[in-house]
């Protein structure tokens, strides 16, 4: 998939003008494709995480605006379009790509009076955003491979990368962000092995990253979320590589809950901690990630129940693991301060996680 075949996480079919996605809730057990036919269906798909990952959410929101234009265009109503934008914006708060893509669509449509032209304009922009994401991720791979290669050249032994959540092609369109340098290294013949944090509560690492790496035949091992510190202490990790849902202009990074703890453990053990991100995840308005980045709190049932395939079953099932009376809290992201980040890997190159470093690449 993606690294080995032509499937993407989202695609538009010219033939029947349909937007399709992989419904990631069923992976790794089933590969289910969902056609998204309305902006309401796209809102549900984003909110309920049929698709997820910051770059992909941005591309999906752009297609959501195209679907909104198809609906609003018939009635000639800009009000409906703005309403649809608000509904998309309300689906998930942390990944800035969503707001960025919706705003880009609104800006592009602002000067167009004829509502019948809206769908074509919005579709062209959505396709552009999709293509840009693919290219940005490809370039992240080109830049990031040097970090893996350098370690390999020094040690001449397998390079062990620790990653958290899924920052692979399923979180983007192709290649992924944190996985792009890993795939690039693997394709170049550099021996690489990935420690995959399972990533409770939704297990994006265990379900999605492990599946992706398996499809691409990249050696990997799934570990429980709490194992990273131990591995870092015992020299079993050469570098940590994660993605980002929102990056401040000063280099603070919001990513899946638990990322901060990995950064602390990496820092304590002198192991480099890299964040790979396309510039669409930079929020140029923010300077203090901990204080300013909105952290999504999801339904506590995601903590109370675990989803998977029963040992002797064929149907995906949910099982409760908490006492019925115990409350749960479900914070979906945390913020890693820039001081704990060795460098950022972007489509324009690698830079320190500082305001100056970012500005030097994106002046
Ligand atoms: O809740 P999710 O699955 O949307 O969270 C995804 C992540 O935190 C990813 O690590 C992040 O989006 C970077 S993906 C390229």
> Which parts of the chain have pLDDT scores under 50?
1-2, 4
Give pLDDT tens digits for 66-108.
999 998 877 778 899 999 999 999 999 999 999 999 999 999 9
Name the H helices within 222-298. 228-233, 259-268, 289-292
Q: Which residues are catalytic?
A: 245
Whether 204 is in the pocket of ligand 1, judged by its Cβ within 6 Å, is: yes
Are 255 and 333 in contact by the 8 Å Cβ rule? The answer is yes
Ligand 1, atom 8, residue with closest C-alpha: 256
In a shared domain, residues 214 and 190:
yes
Q: Does one domain contain both 58 and 78? A: yes
Q: Looking at ligand 1, which atom is closest to the CA of residue 277?
A: 15
Same domain, 244 and 201: yes
For the entire predicted model, the pTM comes to 0.96
Identify the domain boundary among 132, 147, 177: 132
**Count of domains observed in the chain:** 2
Q: Which atom of ligand 1 is nearest to the CA of 55?
A: 15
- Domain identity same for 104 and 144: no
Whether 248 is in the pocket of ligand 1, judged by its Cβ within 6 Å, is: no
Which of these three, 132, 156, 183, is where a domain ends? 132
For residue 331, what is the domain's CATH number? 3.40.50.10470
Same domain (yes/no): 119, 259: no
Pick the last residue of a domain from 74, 97, 132.
Answer: 132
Ligand 1 centroid vs 169 CA: distance in angstroms?
11
Tokens matching residue 183: 């795939």
Are 108 and 159 part of one and the same domain? no
User: Rounded to whole angstroms, how far apart are CA atoms 363 and 347?
Assistant: 14
How would you classify the pairing of strands 246-248 and 282-283? Answer: parallel
Query: How much is the pLDDT for 1?
Result: 41
Q: What is the pLDDT, as a whole number, of residue 72?
A: 81
Q: Does 203 sit in the ligand 1 pocket, CB within 6 Å?
A: no
User: Among residues 137, 214, 146, which one has the least CA distance to residue 171?
Assistant: 137
- Looking at residue 5, its pLDDT comes to 56
Q: Which residues span the domain enclosing 149?
A: 139-361
């Amino acid at each position: 998939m993606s690294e080995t075949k032509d499937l993407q996480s989202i695609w538009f079919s010219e033939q029947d003008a349909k937007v399709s996605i992989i419904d990631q809730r069923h992976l790794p057990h089933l590969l289910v494709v969902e056609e998204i036919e309305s902006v309401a269906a796209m809102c549900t798909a984003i909110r309920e995480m049929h698709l997820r990952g910051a770059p992909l959410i941005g591309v999906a929101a752009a297609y959501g605006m195209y679907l909104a234009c198809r609906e609003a265009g018939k009635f000639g109503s800009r009000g409906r379009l703005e309403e649809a934008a608000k509904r998309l914006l309300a689906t998930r708060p942390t990944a800035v790509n969503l707001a960025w893509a919706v705003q880009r669509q609104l800006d592009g449509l602002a000067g167009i009076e004829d509502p019948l032209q809206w769908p074509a304009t919005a579709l062209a922009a959505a396709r552009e955003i999709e293509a840009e994401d693919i290219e940005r991720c490809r370039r992240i791979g080109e830049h990031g491979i040097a970090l893996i290669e350098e370690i390999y050249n020094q040690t001449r032994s397998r390079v062990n990368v620790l990653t958290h959540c899924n920052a692979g092609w399923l979180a983007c369109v192709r290649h992924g962000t944190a996985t792009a340098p890993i795939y690039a290294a693997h394709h170049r013949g550099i021996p690489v092995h990935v420690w995959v944090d399972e990533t409770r509560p939704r297990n994006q690492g265990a379900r999605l990253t492990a599946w992706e790496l398996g499809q691409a035949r990249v050696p990997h091992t799934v570990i429980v979320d709490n194992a990273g510190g131990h591995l870092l202490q015992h020299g079993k990790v050469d570098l940590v590589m994660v993605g980002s849902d929102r990056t401040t202009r000063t280099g603070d990074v919001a990513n899946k809950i638990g990322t901060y703890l990995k950064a602390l453990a990496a820092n304590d053990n002198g192991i480099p901690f890299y964040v790979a991100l396309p510039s669409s995840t930079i929020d140029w308005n923010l300077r203090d990630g901990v204080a300013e980045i909105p952290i999504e709190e999801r339904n506590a049932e995601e903590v109370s129940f675990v989803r998977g395939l029963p040992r002797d079953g064929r149907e995906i099932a949910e099982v409760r693991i908490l006492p019925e009376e115990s409350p749960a809290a479900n914070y979906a992201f945390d913020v890693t301060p820039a001081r704990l980040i060795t460098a950022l890997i972007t489509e324009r190159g690698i830079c320190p996680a500082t305001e100056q470093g970012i500005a030097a690449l994106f002046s």
